[in-house]
């Protein structure tokens, strides 16, 4: 009987030790699994955001190109207007010179 009690006590201690190590491992495994799931979700979110960023970058480049083209066109129009105004001013000066000479 004495040996039976010793075996029972040792068995309980072994069971307690095994349970103590198994429970944290399970929770650790669950924790690692949950972390992997979160990381996977974050990776998916980052991938989606990267795709959206690429789309926004393409739109920005398109808008910038359009703005540059419009700026160039506007600059060209202003340049042409300046040349025309200069020519008109010179023409008016010649007319005034002719008028003053004829008068």
Least-confidence region, from 9-13, 42-46, 47-51, 93-97: 9-13
Q: Which residues of 52-73 are buried (b: 16+ CB within 10 A; e: fewer)?
A: eeeeeeeeeeeeeeeeeeeeee
Tokens representing 41 are 């979700």
Tens digit of each residue's pLDDT (9 = 90 or more) over 30-79: 777 787 788 888 888 888 898 899 999 999 999 999 999 999 989 999 99
Share of the chain above pLDDT 70, in %: 72
Q: pLDDT confidence of 80, banded at 50, 70, 90?
A: very high
- Predicted confidence at residue 79, as pLDDT, reads 93
pLDDT > 90? residue 21: no
Domain boundaries, the chain: 1-76
- Predicted confidence at residue 45, as pLDDT, reads 87
């Amino acid at each position: 009987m004495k040996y039976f009690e010793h075996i029972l006590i040792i068995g309980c201690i072994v069971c307690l030790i095994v349970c103590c190590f198994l429970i944290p491992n399970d929770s650790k495994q669950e924790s690692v699994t949950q972390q992997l799931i979160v990381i996977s979700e974050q990776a998916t979110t980052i991938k989606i955001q990267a795709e959206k960023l690429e789309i926004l970058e393409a739109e920005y480049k398109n808008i910038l190109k359009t703005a540059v083209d419009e700026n160039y066109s506007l600059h060209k129009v202003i340049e042409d207007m300046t040349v025309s105004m200069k020519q008109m001013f010179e023409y008016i000066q010649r007319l005034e010179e002719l008028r003053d000479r004829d008068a």
